[in-house]
A and B are shown apart, each in its own frame.
Chain A
Amino acid sequence: MGLRPPIPDPRSLTPMSIALHPVPTFYDSVGMILSAADLRAIRRNAAIVDGLSYRQMPCFDSSAGLDTYTVGYYPSSPPFRIWNGYFRFRSGMTTLTIEGSATPAGSETIKVFLNGSGTAAATITPTSSFTQNITISGLGYTDGQIVQVELQVQGSASTATARYVIYDIYASPISFATAWPGVPTFSGTYSALKLNQLSNAAQWLFDRMAATPIVPNLMMRYALGSFGTLPNLRPLWYGSVGRYFSNDIFRLFGVYTNVTDVAQKLYVYINGSLASTLGPFGPGTATISIPVALTHTLGTRVEASVWEETITPGAVQAAWKQSRFSLTYRYSQADGSGYPYATMPADFSPAVNISAATLDSRLNALATVLNNTKTRIDNTPNIWNRARAVRRWFGKNGEDTQGDFDARARPFFARQGYRLVVKGKGVSIGFGPITVPSDPQKGPQYDAHTYGKTESVIDGDKVDTKTVYLDSIDGLVPGTTYQLVGDVQYAEELLS
């Protein structure tokens, strides 16, 4: 189906987790035999960090369907909420940045409220392109604290058809105090100093990447389309897509379900222009897999939106017969050529003759892989120097929660990490086959879908923050997609 799941190169996966292979300390002058297994571990580690450095980034969620306060469907006058979510403060972070685009209706402003404060931390003048930096280093947040970010439109204006799209919200910088060890050059002597340096370079890169959290976006399990009633053209999702590597594309993947006899189309807009059209879809189900080439400036984000249109209206049907669009993956990912992962030197084998020149060549090739990975990380600060905020669910009319809506878009991960940090209430992890119950009177109950495997994380008594060691969940092997069910405020995976 053309889907490349948003997980790192499979070389990165190990049975236990995406973790580096342990390498011992090397010692001179003790008769330490240079082990093929140790060099193989370094080679594997180089492949892992090379693969992980092409981190596939989810699109940033701004808003969803027309009943969730989205572009063109706001209240007629402020105040109202346009974005609500959380970020995790870590020591060393100084700045919270909010980027977006707006077409204001009048003189309204966007107020930024942090951590539940009733006093705005900043006021944004909505323009076609805005960036708001807020100093957070002096606000008393503690390391690991999960902080709410709420954006409200305030002021006086006729806002019903205004346009507010949030492209990005992130805290920066990512602090990582350890100095890069550099990489050695081998030439006939395999000293402990150089071997340890090579091994430490891979470890440094892994640790550096582990310092940047992997945050989810919301898997829109059921975005409601129309069944012929007005409006025929309606937004399903608004957000942004980043271009981090030169061959990144926007990938929309999902499933369309039409239980009526209308014909419908799906549109993808990138940076304000129609980039892809899919359909028309008739009754039945169809796979959605849309790749859209990205041509905007490397290292930046642009607006992305997904729309649905009924082109052949039908009779008004029962509500459950509204079409459903499962917009499951919305990611930046490599085009069909894949990311240019490093070509690894030949592997190391024990008890086989190998010349020092060949050994030099292989070890120096590993050093090059590691050095290039370091350069790549340095050159993609929009991935590695930012801890992004996670949007809370698309509540109806901007509310915190509203029944069925809570199940329609949930935080989604394709497991890459070792740990999951999650804040919320009544939270569980759901993965495996999905079952949609059916009511004889009302038909399929999409919003009541269940997962083949669930693991409770936080009980329903109070909001809490928990760390989950993902290896401890049977079946949740690296690469598995899972959703967080319940009242999730924030979640992140960490590589270690």
Chain B
Amino acid sequence: MNERREFLKGAIIFFPAGGVLTALAREAAGKETVGKDAPGTDAKAQPNGKKAYNPADHWYGMGVEIDKCIGCNRCAVACKAENDVPDQPFFFRTWVERYTIARSGNVNVENISIGPQLEKAQDAREILRSFFVPKLCNHCANPPCVQVCPVNATFTTPDGAVIVDAERCIGCRYCIQACPYGARYLHPKTRTADKCTFCYHRIVKGLQPACVEVCPTQARIFGDLKSRASRLTRFMRFNKIHVLKPQLNTEPKVYYAQLDGEVR
């Protein structure tokens, strides 16, 4: 009986004490949040009178028109040049796939970015459809990679790009496993996760991503979904839009027009 009284006394002190400790901890944590410090901005406006770049004003996405892609692979080459991606055929921030769909229903897919492909002797009369599909990180609005990163090394910037903090990443590769699109790889030198950044260092300065810049047929376009006058917004208006693996609810922001149902 006495034991129970003692126990209750202890419990009565324990919960408020716990509450106080928790509150103290929370307050200490609250002191850590920093005011929003946008990248590329200064405290005052730029000297030439242009408004400082505010990431919250933008929400970037990319559009890809399948019927325009000629599979020249200039995009993948330019990306590797711009972003110092290792030159070997195992690490890609972006690549181009070729689909060949035969009358039999057989679908043959190959990656034209990993190197020259052997000419397959295929009877042209048996081919139903054939086309190229550029692929890259979809910079999802509901990214599974950001969800699983244990150290918050990968995150979405306020303007919609998903990037990796290479100084925080511990190289656990959970994000690589979680990405449904195979967009990520482990950089062999830094041993951290790496992927397409929408050429973040270019887009905040008003330039286009390298892959969009060099595409000869403008099969890739880039734009700001928050802007009414961006090329991407018009693209979304004129085309029926598809995304890759919509059933996974990752809300990708790379929008495909004329995407074939066989594309995964």
Chain A complexes with chain B: no
